[in-house]
Amino acid sequence: MKKDLILILDFGSQYSHMIARRIRDLKVDTFLCDYNISISHILSIKPKGIILSGGPFSVYDNESPLISKNIFQLNIPIFGICYGMQLISFIFGGKIERSKYKEYGKSKFIIDHSNNNLFDGIPKESIVWMSHSDEIRNIPKKFKITGHTSSCKIASFSHINKDIYAVQFHPEVKNTEFGISILKNFVFHICKCTPNWDWDNFVHNAIDKIKKRVEKKKVLLGFSGGIDSLVTAYIIHNAIGNSLNCIFVDTGFLLKEEEERISFLCKKMNFPIKIIDAKNRFLSRLNGVIDPEVKRKIIGEEFISVFQEESEKIKDIEFLAQGTIYSDIIESSSKENQLSHSIKSHHNVGGLPSTTFMKLKLIEPLKELFKDEVRKIGKKIGLPEEMLHRHPFPGPGLSIRIIGEVNEKKISILRKAESILLQELKNSNIYDSVSQAFIILLPVKSVGVMGDRRTYEHSAVLRVINTEDFMTATFSNLSYEFLEKISNRIVNEVDGINRMVYDITSKPPSTIEWE
Ligand code: XMP
């Protein structure tokens, strides 16, 4: 049965995917698409409501994205957010101006019209998250102002007799106190959606789409052993069976435990995984390389060469599949969103233009999802708890946790230190209460004294963070007792490290990995 659906027109906001995610959290299907979708396409989708997202533009810019007024004749409820609000105002003849005070961050929002469906059950005053530099001066005819903040007189409005609503703030971000309630009001009170969508629907749809797209051709999947690639492999295997070819590239930059896990998975999963031993070629290409971006680029290229070679061995190969998720895309490429800068290359193999490079078409069934959503699917399809809550491990592995030049000796030092950390996190029952924990080996040496003997060895950093989506993170508040235990064990047991420090920075301004 077709599920009720909310269509989101994307005008390029960094929060557009967050809107989609919030709607999925309400158990309602959603489709995030380019703002210039045609009216006939909208009609074929039959959405119960349309959300116009925010975006980095000003409606008066020459190249600002606009939509046809006909969308408002479809009798489908419409909700404009930030740029979406300004667009509604512009289309209906309101006046927008660059505001004197740019407003970024928290503001107190005051509801002027309590008999507005959108604000049902929301207190007269609440905190909202603003992020805009334009503001509406005059609302169009037939609209009424429904709320304001101290510096923005028109912070929300609605049509007097049609289901058209708009807010200047972002209800989809957590900092807006009653943002979820506002979205709920739109989805359930105004659009009358039934909350009957769930992750089974997502999986079935994804399987269906892949089946139709791939037909009798073959798919190559870069398998990393993490939850994203496990769920991706599950979906594709269910769609096309053994036309899926999984390969795992052993770069030599793996943790000891990762190697063991992969051989366990190879035996356990019901699809074959081919392991490619590429240790020597990766290590030799990093010889003398210090710059983190150059390291990432080289590793990306090497991954691609391995995939290229493997793909040439498979007859009828036409697709490359990856377990890319939304945070991989937003941080490693700027093409997805004009506002976002590229932070690091190659968060996944998709960081490189593999479509043109390898002439293979990409399949990325999870690319719109957030990490915790992938975990929900993992749970649905019966992956064991241990796999669901395993900390992420980056594709380039230990090479980006060895600052400066990478060599075999340093890899062996870091592997030992990481192994001790993992044991202690598990022994102390801390593993599941933090999101990611690892060690960084520094090229900085310092003097120490062990058993009356002078030492001059590497310093290493303990990095432990908590996060919901890996886009922002805070360092974890660990006990001194635990920190002391880690420091003692690593310095005593790992030859080559004689000093440990704890990283107490959050993301932003730092990133989670050091390189
Ligand atoms: P950063 O360092 O960008 O990390 O704050 C965010 C999350 O992404 C992981 N990460 C990667 N994962 N390939 C991956 O599959 C990569 O190249 C990569 N770089 C960072 C990182 O461990 C953290 O969980």
Q: What is the DSSP string of 337-385?
A: -TTPPP-SS-SSGGGS-HHHHH--EEE-TTTT--HHHHHHHHHHTT--H
Are 466 and 372 contained in the same domain?
no
pLDDT tens figures, 481-495:
999 999 999 999 999
CA–centroid distance, 46 to ligand 1, in Å, is 38
What residues form DSSP beta bridges with 455?
448
Residue 163 lies in a domain: yes
Are 267 and 218 contained in the same domain?
yes
The pLDDT score that the predictor gives to residue 346 is: 54
CA–centroid distance, 344 to ligand 1, in Å, is 8
| Token code pair at residue 21 | 């995610």
For the CA of 511, the closest atom of ligand 1 is 5
CATH number for the domain that contains residue 257? 3.40.50.620
How many domains does one find in the chain? 3
Tell me, yes or no, if 172 is annotated catalytic.
Answer: yes
Pocket of ligand 1 from Cβ distances under 6 Å: 331, 343-344, 346-348, 392, 394-396, 436, 470, 507, 511-513
Indicate which residue's Cα is closest to atom 16 of ligand 1: 347
Are 242 and 224 contained in the same domain?
yes
Burial of 386 (0-12, 13-18, 19+ CB in 10 A): exposed
Residue 507 lies in a domain: no
CATH number for the domain that contains residue 157? 3.40.50.880
The pLDDT score that the predictor gives to residue 340 is: 45
The pLDDT score that the predictor gives to residue 18 is: 94
More confident residue, 389 or 398: 398
- Examine the fold and report which residue of 388, 415, 446 is the final residue of a domain before the chain moves on: 388
For the CA of 392, the closest atom of ligand 1 is 24
**pLDDT tops 80 at residue 343:** no
For the CA of 467, the closest atom of ligand 1 is 24
In the set 17, 132, 170, 346, the catalytic residue is 170
pLDDT tens figures, 245-280:
999 999 999 998 887 888 788 777 788 899 999 999
Q: What is the DSSP string of 435-460?
A: SEEEEEEEEEEEEEEETTEEEEEEEE
| Token code pair at residue 376 | 């929900």
Residue 279 lies in a domain: yes
pLDDT tens figures, 167-220:
999 999 988 999 999 999 999 999 999 999 999 999 999 999 999 999 999 999
Are 259 and 131 contained in the same domain?
no
For the CA of 400, the closest atom of ligand 1 is 19
Residue among 438, 466, 470 whose CB has most ligand 1 atoms within 8 A, to mutate: 470
Q: Highest mean pLDDT: which of 95-104, 238-247, 333-342?
A: 238-247
CA–centroid distance, 104 to ligand 1, in Å, is 27
- Examine the fold and report which residue of 155, 171, 190 is the final residue of a domain before the chain moves on: 190
Are 34 and 176 contained in the same domain?
yes
**pLDDT tops 90 at residue 298:** yes
Rounded to an integer, what distance in angstroms lies between the CA atom of residue 243 and that of residue 246?
A: 10
Are 20 and 82 contained in the same domain?
yes
**pLDDT tops 50 at residue 448:** yes
More confident residue, 352 or 148: 148
**pLDDT tops 60 at residue 288:** yes
Upper half-sphere CA count for residue 226 (Cβ side, 13 Å): 19
Burial of 3 (0-12, 13-18, 19+ CB in 10 A): middle
CA–centroid distance, 365 to ligand 1, in Å, is 19
The pLDDT score that the predictor gives to residue 113 is: 84
Which residues, other chains included, contact 386 with Cβ-Cβ below 8 Å and sequence gap of 6+? none
Are 161 and 129 contained in the same domain?
yes
CB 348 within 8 A of CB 252: no
Residue 13 lies in a domain: yes
Residue 430 lies in a domain: yes
Rounded to an integer, what distance in angstroms lies between the CA atom of residue 390 and that of residue 425?
A: 12
Are 28 and 158 contained in the same domain?
yes
User: Sheet of 164-167: strands edge to edge?
Assistant: 29-34, 5-10, 49-52, 78-81, 164-167, 156-159, 143-148, 95-111, 125-138
In the set 135, 172, 258, 457, the catalytic residue is 172
Instruction: Classify 359 in phi/psi space as left (phi over 0), alpha (psi -120 to 50) or beta.
Output: left
Are 123 and 257 contained in the same domain?
no
pLDDT mean over 75-99: 94
Confidence at 327, pLDDT banded by 50, 70, 90: confident
The pLDDT score that the predictor gives to residue 358 is: 65
Residue 141 lies in a domain: yes
CA–centroid distance, 328 to ligand 1, in Å, is 8
pLDDT tens figures, 90-120:
999 999 988 776 777 889 999 998 778 999 9
Are 53 and 174 contained in the same domain?
yes
Largest Cα span, the chain = 85
**pLDDT tops 80 at residue 467:** yes
The pLDDT score that the predictor gives to residue 88 is: 97
The pLDDT score that the predictor gives to residue 339 is: 39
Q: At what angle do helices 227-240 and 199-214 cross, to 10 degrees?
A: 60
Tell me, yes or no, if 346 is annotated catalytic.
Answer: no
Rounded to an integer, what distance in angstroms lies between the CA atom of residue 169 and that of residue 135?
A: 11
The pLDDT score that the predictor gives to residue 14 is: 83
Are 345 and 441 contained in the same domain?
no
CA–centroid distance, 470 to ligand 1, in Å, is 8
CATH number for the domain that contains residue 456? 3.30.300.10
pLDDT mean over 42-59: 95
Residue 393 lies in a domain: no
- Examine the fold and report which residue of 159, 190, 221 is the final residue of a domain before the chain moves on: 190
The pLDDT score that the predictor gives to residue 331 is: 65
Indicate which residue's Cα is closest to atom 10 of ligand 1: 394
Rounded to an integer, what distance in angstroms lies between the CA atom of residue 44 and that of residue 37?
A: 11
Tell me, yes or no, if 17 is annotated catalytic.
Answer: no
**Whole-model pTM?**
0.84
Residue 161 lies in a domain: yes
Range of the domain at 102: 5-190
Angstrom CA distances, 136 to 67, 78, 112, 171, 421, stand at 18, 18, 16, 18, 54
Are 432 and 452 contained in the same domain?
yes
Confidence at 320, pLDDT banded by 50, 70, 90: very high
For the CA of 296, the closest atom of ligand 1 is 17
The pLDDT score that the predictor gives to residue 22 is: 97
